[in-house]
Amino acid sequence: MQNDISKERKKYLSKLKRNKWAVIGTRIAILVLTIFLWEVLANQGIIDSFIMSKPSRIIQTFMNLSQNDLLKHLGTTCYETIIGFLLGTVLGFLIAIILWWSKFLAKVVDPFLVVLNSLPKVALGPVIIIWVGARNICNNYDGYCNFTSCNNIRNFKWIY
Q: In the chain, what are the domain boundaries?
A: 1-63, 119-160
Task: Give the integer Cα–Cα distance in Å for 91 and 97.
Answer: 10
Residues in Cβ contact with 38 at an 8 Å cutoff, skipping those fewer than 6 apart = 47, 52, 54, 55
Show pLDDT as tens, one digit a residue, over the chain (160 residues): 556 889 999 999 999 999 999 999 999 999 999 999 999 999 999 998 888 899 999 998 888 777 777 778 888 999 999 999 999 999 999 999 999 999 999 999 999 889 888 878 777 777 666 766 655 555 555 544 544 444 444 554 444 4
